[in-house]
Structures are given as C-alpha cells and as structure tokens.
Amino acid sequence: MDLQLNTYYTLICAALVLLLGKWLVGHLRWLANFNIPEPVAGGLVAAVLCYALNVLLGYRLGFDVDLQTAFMLVFFSSIGLSANFTKLKQGGRALLLFLLVIAVYIGVQNGVGVTLASLLGLDPLVGLIAGSMTLLGGHGTAGAWGSVLERDHGIQGAMTLGMACATFGLIIGGLVGGPLAKWLIRRHQLQGPQVTPADADNLVEADAYNFESPRKTRLITTDATIETLALFAGCLAFAQLMTALTAGASFQLPTFVWALAGGVLIRNTLDYVFRFKVFDRAIDVFGNAALSIYLAIALLSLKLWELADLAGPLVIILAAQTVVMLAYVALVTFRVMGRDYDAAVLCAGNCGFGMGATPTAVANMQAITNQYGPSHKAFLIVPMVGAFFIDLLNAVFLQTFIKFLG
C-alpha cells in the first residue's frame, strides 16, 4: 500500500529526522567519533524504519519530491550567491589543482565501472550508470542521463538502476568521508587552526566563509531576510527559464547548475555594477537550513528495498567503486592538495560528492571542522568545484564515453 505524504507532513518528518540526528550524534559517542553528519545519522534510521514498514506491513511511504528539489535548488543558489569573483580569485591555484584532481577521478571512476561491467558480462554502458553518471552526478544527473540511455541506447530500466546507484552513493558518501578525514588527521598528526571565541565571532562577522560554522549565531534583520528571499527567487526563476530554453539541446545542464550560475550572476552584478552589499549572513542561514532539510528528505525518500534488489554484479561494481574512491582520495587528493589539515578536510568533501552529492560533501566537512577547527580553503573550493565545475566536466566525460561505447 502506497502512503503519499503531502508537503506539510514531509516537512514535519524532515524536521523530526534532523532532531533525531542531533540527538543521536550527541548521545552516541561513536557517531561523533566517526564524524557522521547529523542529517545522515537521523536519515538512515528513518530509512530503515521505512524499510521495516515495507517488509513487515507492506506500506511504502512517499514524500514530496518537489519539496526536496526546492530545498536542493535553494542550497545551490546559496552557493552561487556566496561566490563573488573576489572569493574565486582567492581560490586561485588550489582551486585549479583540485579541479584537475577531480577531472582525473571522473575518468578513473568511469574506467572502473566500464571495465568491471564488461568483465561481468554486462553492457559497458551499465558501467557508466555505476560510474560518474550516478555516483558523482547524483540523483539529478542519474534521472537526466537514464532517460537518454533508455530512449537512445536501449538500456531497459536505466533510470531505476541509476536512482538505486545514486542512492547507494549518497549513503556511502555520507558514511565514509568523516572517518577517512579523521584517520588522515590522526595518522599524520595534523592540527586545525586554534580558534578562540573572539576569532569565531570574527569568522561569523567576516561574511566570507558561508557553511563553515553552521552552529554559530547569525544576526539577521527582517529587511535582510526579505532581500535574501528575493535573491533566491531570482536564482530559481533563472534556473527554470534556462532549463526550459535549453530543453532538447545537444548539451544540457541540470537545473541546479543553472540555479548556482544564476546566483553567481546576480551576486556579482549587484557587487560590481550596482555596488549593493549582499547580506551574506542571511544567505548563510538559508543555505545551511536548506542543506539540512534537503538531506533529511533525500534520506527519508531512500527506497532501501530497491538497493536490496540490485543484481550481484552491480553490487560488485559499487563495492569496487567505494574502495577505489577511498584509495584515490587518500593517496592522490590528500597528497596533491598539500598533506595538511586543509587537505584532510578537502578529502572529506571529495568523498561526499565523489560518491554522493555536494550537500553531502558540505555536511562531511562541517562534521570535521566542528571538531577540529575551521578550514577556509576547503569551504571556498569544494562548494564551487563540487556544484558547478564538476557537472560541466562530468557532462563532457559522459558524452565522450557514450559516443565511444555506443
């Protein structure tokens, strides 16, 4: 029996998941020790309960997908609205270096998927589904490319398969990022910056590093809230318009990329053309809230029975992808990015979007920096690379692989 919850009940459930996650991380020491993000902790418990309802009583709970999408778009809009050109310039060489590391990883991830799919007797295109199409691209990219593979290449069930792989990646990305970063910090005896209460207040007031200190109090006003809501509305309208205009084009971008691009365009136009000061603290509050609620609904919506039905060969591919990602992040990302504390936090983010999504990457980094101290470099680089540049690179890689394999 299907039970579809409307918008209000979905929002209530998401809030309960976040409160549960906060309680679990606060009371179960091993969750805190492994730096598991609160939305992931609460969301996995909720997903297991939904699975139990399905197995024992035959109930299948459904949640408002449109609400999940809306909060996802708000989160990516907040990244764009936080990224003025001055910040991008601050990223400099490190941003380009990290982008190169991720570009190589996209090729590795697809190479592993295609090779194992061929060895296991599957269509090589199935290897792409268990590669960057879903693991690095997430549910949005999985849905967009799944329909293309079904329609143009005869891969039956590609969309369902893609959603299952993306679900697996979301779980793994949220579970392994924190522990790996903590292991690197301990193994190499790294230390985060020592932050005094006064420094923490200055960080909040600096309006420079959104998402870095989600637990700090942000002082915002009614006028700033209204202005910020207008900015988000502009980003979402731009995303909707560009998605409609580019529909059917040979090169398409997911809607959330347009939301981020709209944020960058609006922010820098206001900064450098109209000299209008954007209120970063309000963007930070909205962005962090949207991030938490999106992750809660995404994990609530996990259909674990779909993962249970995955074929054996696909489980082998996904398990191999997990091992390869951990090895690549520890041996390549960490070393190339400097073998320091910032590099370890970047590794947590790399695991988040390497197997899951950019919101998972940010949550992973927050779990680390809440314990060990801030990492300005990581919170400057990961949101932009993970949310914007990666999707452009991934689209190019996927089109190349499909053309070659097709």
Q: Would you say residue 152 lies in a domain? A: yes
Q: Would you say residue 200 lies in a domain? A: yes
Determine the straight-line distance between the first and last CA of the chain, rounded to whole angstroms. 40
**Mean of pLDDT values over 243-253:** 77
137: enclosing H helix or E strand? none
The tens digit of pLDDT for each residue in 280-329 reads 888 888 888 887 898 888 878 777 766 665 567 888 898 999 999 999 99
Q: Would you say residue 310 lies in a domain? A: yes
The tens digit of pLDDT for each residue in 126-157 reads 888 889 888 887 766 776 677 678 777 777 76
Round to whole Å and give the CA distance between 325 and 331: 10
The structural domain count of the chain equals 1
The pLDDT score that the predictor gives to residue 201 is 47
Torsions phi, psi of 132, nearest 5?
-70, -15
Full-model pTM: 0.74
**Inter-helix orientation angle 280-300/358-372, to 10°:** 110
Q: Would you say residue 190 lies in a domain? A: yes
> Could you list the residue range(s) of the whole structural domain that residue 316 is in?
67-405
The alpha carbon of 48 is separated from its chain's Cα centroid by a whole number of angstroms, namely: 21
Q: Would you say residue 8 lies in a domain? A: no
Res. 204 pLDDT band, cuts 50 70 90: very low
DSSP 62: E
Helix (H/G/I), strand (E/B), else coil: 189: coil
**Mean of pLDDT values over 198-203:** 49
Residue type at position 225:
T
Q: Would you say residue 46 lies in a domain? A: no
Q: Would you say residue 333 lies in a domain? A: yes
Q: Would you say residue 4 lies in a domain? A: no
